[in-house]
Structure 1
Amino acid sequence: MGWGNIGRAVRRAWLSWTDADRTVAVAVCAAQLPAAWLLWWLISDAQVDNYRVGYEPLGWFFALVLAPLVLPVLGMVQTVAQISPAALLAHPSAVRFRGPGWAWHLLYAVVFGAAWAALFAALWDWPFMATALAFAALGALPVLGVAFARRRARITGHRWGAVGVWGSGCFGCFGLFVLAFGGAALATAVGLIEEYEPPKLSAGQLAGVWRGVDGAVLRLEPGGRAEFAHLPAEPTSFDDRRFVTCDGTGSWFLDTEGRHDKYRADGPTERDGVVVRLDDGCGQRTYWVIGGTEQEPELFVPFGDLDAPDLWILQRD
Structure 2
Amino acid sequence: MATGAVAVCVGTVLAFEVYGFAELAMDAPTPPDGPARALLVLPLLLCFGGPFAVLVTLLLTLPTVSAARWVSARTTGPDTWWWVPVVAVAAMSAVAAVVGAWWRPGAGASVLLWLTGAALLTGAALLARDAALRGRRLLRVLGYGALAAVAVAAIGGAAYATGAVTEYRPPKADAARLVGTWSDGHGGTLRLSADGTARAEGLRSDCTGVGTWSSEPDGPTAWDQLVLTEVTDCSFDWRISGTPEHPKLNHDYGEVDDPHWYTLTR
TM-score by length of 2: 0.66
Structure 1 position 67, deviation (Å) = 2.2
SS state of the match for residue 196, structure 2?
Answer: strand
In structure 2, what is the Cα distance between the partners aligned to 1:37 and 1:271? 23
Give the match for residue 96 of structure 2.
Answer: 117
Matched-pair contact (CA < 8 Å) for 2:240–2:247? no
* Aligned-pair CA distance for 1:28: 0.9
* Correspondence for 2:204: none
- Check the 8 A contact 1:297/1:316 in 2, yes or no: yes
1:97 aligns with 2:82: no
| Counterpart in the other structure of 1:137 | 119
* Secondary structure of 2:84 counterpart: helix
The residue type equivalent to 2:67 in the other structure is L
Alpha-carbon distance in 1 for matches of 2:45, 2:263: 36
What is the match of residue 36 of structure 1?
Answer: 15
Alpha-carbon distance between aligned partners in 2 of 1:106 and 1:29, rounded to the nearest angstrom: 15
Deviations 1:163-212 (A, max 9, x none): x72x5544444333332222222233344544324346575541146799
C-alpha separation between the residues in 2 aligned to 1:52 and 1:131? 22
Task: Provide the C-alpha distance between the structure 1 equivalents of 2:68 and 2:227, rounded to a whole number of angstroms.
Answer: 64
SS at match of 2:81: helix
Corresponding residue of 1:226: 196
Matched, 1:72 2:47: no
Report what 2:159 is aligned to.
187
Q: Which amino acid counterpart does residue 292 of structure 1 have in structure 2?
A: G
What amino acid is the match of 2:83? Answer: W
Provide the TM-score with structure 1 as the length reference: 0.57
Residues 211, 29 of structure 1: CA spacing in aligned structure 2 closer, same or farther, 3 A cutoff? same
- 2:241 & 2:82 partners in 1: Cα distance? 47
Match of residue 62 from structure 2: 84
Q: What is the distance in 1 between the residues matched to 2:42 and 2:153?
A: 17
Q: Counterpart of 1:243?
A: none
Count residues with an aligned counterpart: 235
Greater C-alpha Rg: 1
Amino acid at match of 2:90: V
**CA distance in structure 1 between the aligned counterparts of 2:83 and 2:32, rounded to whole angstroms:** 46
User: Which residue does the alignment assign to 2:206?
Assistant: none
Question: How far is the alpha carbon of 1:108 from its aligned partner?
Answer: 0.9
Which digits, 9 at most, give the CA deviation of each residue in 1:148-167, with x for residues without a partner? 3345x2xxxxx33xxx72x5
The answer to whether the 8 A contact 1:25-1:79 is kept is yes
Structure 1 distance, partners of 2:168, 2:47, is: 34
1:240 — aligned with what?
none
Deviation at 1:32, TM superposition (A): 1.4
**Shift in Å, 1:96:** 1.9
Distance verdict in 2 for CA 1:29–1:226, change over 3 Å = same
1:43 Cα offset (Å)? 0.8
Work out the CA distance in 2 between the residues paired with 1:113 and 1:60.
Answer: 23
- What stretches of structure 2 of length at least 5 have no aligned partner? 200-209, 229-236
Aligned partners of 1:60 and 1:141: how far apart in 2? 18
Aligned to 1:196, the other structure's residue is in SS state coil
Partners of 2:86 and 2:120 in 1: CA distance: 13
What is the Cα deviation at residue 89 of structure 1?
1.7
Distance 1:291 1:95 in 2: 54
Residues 279-303 of structure 1 show CA distances to partners (whole Å, capped at 9, x for unaligned) of: xxxxxxxx986423444512789xx
Q: What amino acid is aligned across from residue 97 of structure 1 in structure 2?
A: T
Asked whether the equivalents of residues 271 and 290 of structure 1 are also in contact (C-alpha less than 8 Å), the reply is: yes
Aligned-partner Cα distance in 2 for 1:53–1:148: 37
Aligned partner of 1:291 among 241, 245, 249: 241
In the TM superposition, residue 91 of structure 1 has moved relative to its aligned partner by: 2.0
Shift of 1:47: 0.7
Amino acid in structure 2 at the alignment position of 1:92 = W
Q: 2 CA distance for matches of 1:220 and 1:37?
A: 39
In the TM superposition, what is the alpha-carbon distance from 1:35 to its structure 2 partner? 1.1
Given that 1:32 and 1:138 are in contact with CA atoms closer than 8 Å, whether structure 2 keeps it comes out as yes
Q: Aligned to 1:47, what secondary structure does the other structure show? A: coil
SS at match of 1:101: coil
Tell me the distance in 2 between the aligned counterparts of 1:272 and 1:194.
20
